[in-house]
Amino acid sequence: MTTKTAETLFRPLTIKGLTLKNRIVMAPMTRTFSPNGVPGQNVADYYRRRAEADVGLILSEGTVVARPASKNHPNIPFFHGDAALAGWKTVIDAVHGAGGRMGPQIWHTGSTIADKDYNPEGIESPSGLLAPGQPRGKAMTDADIADTIAAFAQAAADAKRLGFDTVEIHGAHGYLIDEFFWAGTNERQDQWGGSTIAERSRFAVEVAKAVRAAVGPDFPILFRASQWKQQDFSVRLANSPEEMASWLQPLVDAGVDVIHASQRRFWEPEFPEIDGEKGLNFAGWAKKLTGATTISVGSVGLSGEFIAAFGGESSKPASLDNLIERMERDEFDLIAVGRALLNDPQWVTKVQKGEFDALKEFSPAALGELV
């Protein structure tokens, strides 16, 4: 069990106009509890409970920008339209009423499949591919791309208008923006493709620029990135620090303040030992290379990793010592916690009090309910 004090996790952090009470982020987790795309009071109560228990920053489940077939399950919430936005206004008011800070994660799922029985019209991606050699949907036209960039910008503008504290652009896990990054799903020969990750980053850069223009200079923008894809866990977009810099630095230059560096296990090094930097994880390298604020994530406080949970695997509480050591040396700035917070709204409070023996096991049953 954890032997170190967790004090370092409870330092405040200011990012532009946003001050967080601690370094713990509720990771965005798909919940599918919003019929017809509209979050109800149960969703507001779910996030409020985490705010009441002192989560530093809450990131919502993925929410959909205004494009046809931009979600891959019928009960994923929209972040457009009067009814859905009214629902999200209820959510952020509840979180603020409990003293919390929150941002929506905005996304377009591209060609990925979550519900095999959900096949809406208009599925789109860079080249009409779900994975290398696997067609699904259509290749986007220039007009589709322009409209999608505008849809991300409008969602971000609506987030600010509703009173959210930040916004996160989802550019990871094999969804639309990530399908532009990945050579296996981006075979375009125009300005939206290319032979290098830097060239294939143009779509993401234009999304970031449009979002920045929509929210102004002082509203923090987060960007979630990953090497791995749902379609193939072994994929790597960057095989060296130089490639990683060419991928991530243009996003920071375009207006991204925080890189949310998604990996399945936060303690795994991103590269072999390079220039004495043995053991830096993805968020550590992203911070070192770009100077941006970074969020790490991946199986925090639990014995098993999250993909296995979808196969029915439970996890027991695990030591936080490794995390605390990395935070003490400022390898990264924030840590996102997923399943442990999904299973136990009081997780942060227990960690702050040193009540590690009171932390709960994770049961996959939690995926099917809003605790």
How many CB atoms lie under 10 A from the CB of residue 136?
A: 17
Q: For residue 364, give both structure tokens.
A: 């996959």
Spatial distance between the Cα atoms of 2 and 4, rounded to a whole number of angstroms: 6
User: pLDDT tens digits, residue range 238-297?
Assistant: 999 999 999 999 999 999 999 999 999 999 999 976 655 568 999 999 999 999 999 999
Radius of gyration of the chain (CA): 19
Q: What is the DSSP string of 315-341?
A: B-B---HHHHHHHHTTSSSEEEE-HHH
Rounded distance, CA 287 to CA 213, Å? 24
pLDDT band of residue 363 (cuts 50, 70, 90) is confident
Per-residue pLDDT reduced to its tens digit, 189-233: 999 999 999 999 999 999 999 999 999 999 999 999 999 999 999
Which residues partner with 125 through β-bridges? Answer: 139
Give residue 134's pLDDT. 95
* pLDDT computed for residue 103 by the predictor: 98
What whole-number distance in Å separates Cα of residue 139 and Cα of residue 142? Answer: 10
**Mean pLDDT across 328-350:** 95
Is the pLDDT at 94 greater than 60, yes or no?
yes
Question: In whole angstroms, how far apart are CA 304 and each of 100, 120, 224, 245, 361?
Answer: 29, 34, 22, 30, 11
pLDDT of 329: 94
Q: What is the pLDDT of residue 246?
A: 98
pLDDT greater than 90 at residue 118: no
What would the pLDDT profile of 161-173 be if each residue is shown by its tens digit? 999 999 999 999 9
Q: For the segment 147-159, what is each residue's pLDDT rounded down to a tens digit? A: 999 999 999 999 9
In this predicted structure, the answer to whether residue 305 has a pLDDT above a threshold of 70 is no
The pLDDT assigned to 313 comes to: 64
Q: How far apart are CA 227 and CA 238, in angstroms?
A: 7
Give Cα separations from 367 to 30, 180, 358, 370, 371 (angstroms).
Answer: 9, 29, 21, 8, 9
pLDDT, average across residues 117-140: 94
Q: Which pLDDT does position 371 carry in this prediction?
A: 85
Q: pLDDT class for 343, splitting at 50, 70, 90?
A: confident
pLDDT above 80: residue 309: no
92 phi and psi angles, rounded to 5 deg: -70, -35
pLDDT at position 24 over 80: yes
Please identify which of the residues 46, 47, 118, 175 carries the catalytic annotation.
175
State both tokens at 341: 């917070």
Beta-strand ranges (E) seen in the chain are 13-15, 18-20, 24-26, 57-64, 102-107, 124-125, 129-131, 134-135, 138-139, 167-170, 221-226, 258-262, 293-297, 334-337
Each residue of 44-77: pLDDT tens digit?
999 999 999 999 999 999 999 999 999 999 999 9
Six-digit token string for 229? 């894809």
- Burial degree of 185 (CB within 10 A; 0-12, 13-18, 19+): buried
Residue 216: partners with Cβ closer than 8 Å, 6 or more residues away: 160
Structural tokens at position 45? 């109560």
Residue 118 known to be catalytic? no
Residue 277's pLDDT is: 56
| C-alpha–C-alpha distance, residues 113 and 223, integer Å | 22
Is 311's pLDDT higher than 80? no
* Strand positions, DSSP E, 86-151: 102-107, 124-125, 129-131, 134-135, 138-139
What number is the average pLDDT over the span 98-105? 98
Which element (helix H / strand E) includes 86? helix 82-97
Q: Which 3 state secondary structure label does DSSP give 270?
A: coil
Q: What percent of the chain has pLDDT over 90?
A: 85
Least confident of 2-6, 120-124, 279-283: 2-6
181 phi/psi in degrees, rounded to 5: -60, -40
Quick one: what percent of the chain has pLDDT higher than 70?
95
Tokens of 154: 């409008």
Over the chain, what is the mean pLDDT? 94
pLDDT of residue 11 exceeding 60, the answer is: yes
What per-residue string of b and e applies to 318-345 under the rule 16 or more CB within 10 Å gives b? bebeebbebbeeebbbbbbbbbbbbbbb
